[in-house]
Amino acid sequence: MTDTSNSYSLRSTSASSYTSEEDSSFFINNKQIRFVKKISESKFPVYLVQDTKTGLMQAIKLFPWNEEDNEPSSFYKKEVRFAQISHPNVTAITGYKNEQGIDGDEEVGRVSYILMDYAKNGDLFDAILTTRVPFNEELIRTYFQQIILGLEAIHAHGAAHLDLKLENFLLDENYNVKITDFDLSFMAAEEKEVSTKGTINYRAPEIIDDCCKNAQAADIYSAGIMLFLMKTGGRLPFKERDLYNGINMKELLELNPKMFWKKQCEFLGKEESFFSQDFKRLFSSMVQRCPENRATLEEVKTSEWINKETYSEEELFSYMCGRFDFL
């Protein structure tokens, strides 16, 4: 493996060791896979790997073994459940293993791993924060439609993601969005309570207050935050713990919506027409404090704003291609 600062070498539990030429390779279903590089510094390392025979590039996510209970990590068990979901806007899990021997820098241990499709063009967070990719209204709407379709597929399986944020939406080779990172997910059929705390500034009020009864409604709230970030080039609508210039923007939206949007335009240096009325209605409906008053997925899908102009697949590829390179 190329990342020597924190390197691993997976090894077959039936083999004593690799030869010197195989130090960065392992086998899945009798296919030899080699490590190429680390591609994520998140809480669980993700590496780019390649099938040595076909050249196919994929991503592998490693989870530490729960030594205390002698079983896979709870985060791995949450994520592997999504192997059953097949949708164009959900990252496909192509392989996994509960227990795998691993050679670290100083010791030999165990991990669990998940093998996934490789999204070569980075994530929405990177795309939005680069000035080389202007997010116009058609592009925002195109991606938001894909986000909602992927979320709909997850919810149809009785699941909720519960950590929706721009970093967890990857762009594949055609620049289409794929939801990833399900290690904080919730499935009503398997769990009685929502235990995750999500990500600050994206999470719904009931997640913060540890009283979430409708995990899928919490996803809607987080998707609303993402919508606002895409529209504003990365500016949060309100902060969870801080004020904007001494103003509680979340409270302002509830008590005086007209002033909320006026202030947002002032902060952004935009004309008041920057936010259309149908955008305002959609966003406000998705971030209602009370989950029962929040828009449903169906209401989001049928909203006026989301059903206006979008890019075709060909137009999306043409617009995005060549503007950035995250390889």
Smallest CA-to-CA distance from 81 within 164, 185, 165, 8 is with 185
Helices first, then strands: H and E counts in the chain: 10, 11
Catalytic member of 163, 181, 183, 219? 163
CA angle (188, 189, 191) in 5-degree steps: 60
314, two tokens: 């060909």
279, two tokens: 């955008």
Greatest C-alpha distance within the chain:
68
User: What are the two backbone dihedrals, phi and then psi, of residue 239, each rounded to the nearest 5 degrees?
Assistant: -105, 145
| 157 contacts: CB under 8 Å, gap ≥ 6 | 84, 85, 187
Q: Which residue is it, tokens 């509680």?
A: 248
Please say if 163 is a catalytic residue: yes
19, two tokens: 């030869």
Q: What is the CA radius of gyration of the chain?
A: 21
Q: Report the Cα 237 to chain-centroid distance in Å.
A: 19
Q: What residues are paired with 25 via a beta bridge?
A: 34
Q: For residue 132, how many C-alpha atoms fall within 13 Å in the half-sphere facing its CB? A: 9
Smallest CA-to-CA distance from 288 within 204, 200, 211 is with 204
- Helix intervals (H) in the chain: 74-80, 124-129, 137-156, 205-208, 215-232, 249-255, 257-268, 277-286, 297-301, 313-320
CA angle (209, 263, 295) in 5-degree steps: 45
Supply the residues annotated as catalytic: 163
